[in-house]
Structures are given as structure tokens and as C-alpha cells.
Amino acid sequence: MKTQPLQPPPTSLSSERIKPRIREYKFFNIIVNGRMRLFNEKTISFSGVIALAFNAAAAKKCESFSVAYRNDKENIPEGVLKNGDFVAVRPGMTFVVERILKL
């Protein structure tokens, strides 16, 4: 006797609505202080750029940072990030982070 696999009960919802949505992670390259980094988000914060530049999430009290960015491939103007700012990230975008010591 051949057994058949169990079938889920019929539902009124379409199969598209009950499927879980899986986020596709698309990695692309950005340049931070002359080094290529893989990135997969739509935006990056001031502190996120610093963490990529110096491999540290927190700064010391005697340090401050300057973050500038530009993208040569698209019509995104260059600019400067301040603490708490975010910027849309595109492939090939360049970030320059400078560490400034406070006296």
C-alpha cells in the first residue's frame, strides 16, 4: 500500500501572502580611508563609518572625528557627516575619516 504525503489544509489566503519574506543581502564595495569594504545596507551612519575606518565602535573622550564622502559614479553630491547623521550608500562610494585629538 502506497502512502501519500500529508497535505496542508486549504486556506483562503493566497500562497504568496503566507510565504515568509526573506531579505536578500546584496553586498557591494565602498571605500573607507583607501580600503575596500563590503557593505549591504541602504544607509550608513556617522558612527558606522568610523567603525569601518578604525575597527572600533566607540571613541575615546579625547578624540573627535571628521567624515567626508563622495560618489563619482552618480549624481550624489559630496558632503560631510556630523554626529547622528546618515547618508544613502551606493556602490563605489568613498569615505574619508580623520581622527582629531582634543587637547
Other CB atoms closer than 10 Å to residue 51's CB: what's the count? Answer: 17
- Mind listing the pLDDT tens digit for each residue in 52-76? 998 765 566 678 889 999 986 666 6
- CA-CA distance, 65 to 24, in Å (whole number)? 33
Span of 32-36, 58-62, 82-86 with lowest mean pLDDT: 58-62
- Mind listing the pLDDT tens digit for each residue in 43-58? 999 989 998 998 765 5
Per-residue confidence band for 26, with pLDDT thresholds at 50, 70 and 90: confident
Rounded to 10 degrees, what is the CA torsion of 9, 12, 13, 18? -10
The phi, psi pair for 25, rounded to 5°, reads -95, 115
pLDDT at residue 23 is higher than 90: no
pLDDT confidence of residue 8: 59
pLDDT at residue 94 is higher than 90: yes
